[in-house]
Amino acid sequence: MLDPMLIEAQPKGYNYEEAKVPKYNLPDPLVCLDGSKVKDADDWVKKRRPEVVRMFEDEVYGRSPGKPKAMRFEIVEKEADALGGKAMRKQIVIHLGKGEKALAVNLLLYLPKKAKGPVPGFLTVNFLGNHTTNKDPAIRIPTSWVRNGNGTKNNKATAAGRGERASRWAIDSIVSRGYAFGTIYYGDIDPDFHDGYENGIHPLFPPKNPKKRKPTDWASIAGWAWGLSRGLDYLETEADVDAKRIAVMGHSRLGKTSLWAGASDERFALVISNNSGCGGAALSRRQFGETVKRINTSFPHWFCDNYKKYNDKEDECPVDQHMLIALSAPRPVYVASAEGDRWADPNGEFLSALGAEPVYQLFGHTFGASKQPPVNKPVQGRIGYHVRTGKHDVTSFDWEQYLNFADKHLR
């Protein structure tokens, strides 16, 4: 398999021209499977939304288990004076399952020290270990699989990686603006390579034997999203956090993950997709940049087996990704693109947000854009969108917009 990190930003042989986007018809989020039209918000909530969730489960991400019985939270570290006195730090291990295959998922949490009463926050998921999100020397280093362990080839994280991804995580600003910041390392939940679902979260739940898997069983994106829900389960027990005001955020494959987490767990109050692209915010039918076939080939473990039916047959899929954005409604949702990230189809990400607006309108909410806004000019209605200059990444510009959006909706 190709090393996902080594795949260049714009592989050759794919379409990057708007004029070459094929003609397509998007499925109407407001037309039910029986052909009837959604009349109002109640109809969406009771009838259409469950249908759409089921289609995403069965055709795209796979069905996940619910909240597990065998789960235990252990606070393994606590510091009242972290980040130069600005924050409290807590590190929690979420123990999942029993026996040999039991998992220990590490949650790192910073809480603003000055806060009076429970604070809103961001729950995020990261690529290389919690210790890479900040230089703080007390952050625990993962013992689970990591990609190339900080430049080495042994798949073990080392202290050399401390803070190496700090530019992606505006922890200082987040805490200074009165929000909690939580992050989970995705490899603690499910290692990101295809091993036939023998490792990570999947063997802890039926069918424990991967040979008995059905084409609708969950794969890795659903596993990471499910892990975010377990992080939220912990936050519900945390007196200093208001678990009813938690935004879920991720980048790239983890942006696909945060969208599915927000869609499948309505406790998340706000949903943020950063450069999530194909299988995330971007419309698959446009076949711009990464395609369904390509993603299913490079990353066969991300989506359920049924999704492979749509390789080169995007039009046959009963959903497209605007319906995923719509599953956040009526909660605020933010889709962010980068101009240089054409592999992720920035305009397709915008059009997907736009395609979700009819569902928001049922609740009296609007987006505020009808075509992709110019670069670095965010639009923030109940749906937020921006395309910034630069490449596939998370920047302080992105976080500035997420914080403004959260100020508007979670305060």
Please identify every residue annotated as catalytic.
Answer: 252, 392
Alpha carbons 289 and 19: distance in angstroms, whole number: 13
Query: Closest distance between ligand GTR and the C-beta of residue 128, in Å?
Result: 11
Query: Closest distance between ligand GTR and the C-beta of residue 182, in Å?
Result: 20
Query: Closest distance between ligand GTR and the C-beta of residue 245, in Å?
Result: 27
Write the interaction track for ligand GTR spanning residues 208-227; mark x where CB under 6 A is met and - where it is not: --------------------
Which of 59, 190, 238, 290 is the binder for ligand GTR (CB under 6 A)? 290
- Residue 142: partners with Cβ closer than 8 Å, 6 or more residues away: 106, 129, 130, 131, 157, 185, 187, 188
Amino acid at 282: A
| CB nearer ligand GTR, residue 231 or residue 280 | 280
Chain CA centroid to CA 21, Å: 26
Alpha carbons 93 and 74: distance in angstroms, whole number: 5
Query: Closest distance between ligand GTR and the C-beta of residue 165, in Å?
Result: 12
Concatenated DSSP letters of 194-242: -SSS-STTGGGSSS-SGGG--TTB--HHHHHHHHHHHHHHHHTT-TTEE
CA torsion sign for 135, 89, 236, 175 is negative
Alpha carbons 275 and 269: distance in angstroms, whole number: 20
Is there a contact between 231 and 185 (Cβ–Cβ < 8 Å)? no
Assign residue 257 a region: left if phi > 0, alpha if psi is -120 to 50, beta otherwise?
alpha
Position 278 contacts ligand GTR (CB under 6 A):
yes
Q: What six digits make up the tokens of 216?
A: 């609708």
Restricting to residues 1-30, name those near ligand GTR by CB under 6 A.
4, 7
| CB nearer ligand GTR, residue 83 or residue 222 | 222
Amino acid at 306: N
Query: Closest distance between ligand GTR and the C-beta of residue 392, in Å?
Result: 7
| CB nearer ligand GTR, residue 186 or residue 402 | 186
Restricting to residues 152-181, name those near ligand GTR by CB under 6 A.
none
Which of 243, 295, 356, 369 is the binder for ligand GTR (CB under 6 A)? 295
CA-atom Rg of the chain in angstroms: 20
| CB nearer ligand GTR, residue 92 or residue 282 | 282
Restricting to residues 52-81, name those near ligand GTR by CB under 6 A.
none
Alpha carbons 254 and 103: distance in angstroms, whole number: 20
| Cis amide prior to 11 (ω within 30 degrees) | no
Counting beta carbons within 10 angstroms of the beta carbon of residue 19, is it exposed (0 to 12), middle (13 to 18) or buried (19 or more)?
exposed
| CB nearer ligand GTR, residue 179 or residue 307 | 307
Which of 133, 150, 252, 380 is the binder for ligand GTR (CB under 6 A)? 252
Which of 49, 253, 322, 388 is the binder for ligand GTR (CB under 6 A)? 253
| CB nearer ligand GTR, residue 170 or residue 221 | 221
Query: Closest distance between ligand GTR and the C-beta of residue 406, in Å?
Result: 23
Query: Closest distance between ligand GTR and the C-beta of residue 139, in Å?
Result: 22
Other beta carbons less than 10 A from residue 404's beta carbon: 15
**Across the chain, which distance is largest between two alpha carbons, in Å?**
59
Which of 262, 277, 346, 348 is the binder for ligand GTR (CB under 6 A)? 277
Instruction: Please give the angle made by the CA atoms of 193, 161 and 84, to the nearest 5 degrees.
Output: 130
| CB nearer ligand GTR, residue 4 or residue 358 | 4
| CB nearer ligand GTR, residue 258 or residue 306 | 258
Residue count at the site for ligand GTR (CB under 6 A)?
8
Query: Closest distance between ligand GTR and the C-beta of residue 168, in Å?
Result: 12
Q: Name residue 303's beta-bridge partners.
A: none
Binding site for ligand GTR (CB under 6 A): 4, 7, 252-253, 277-278, 290, 295
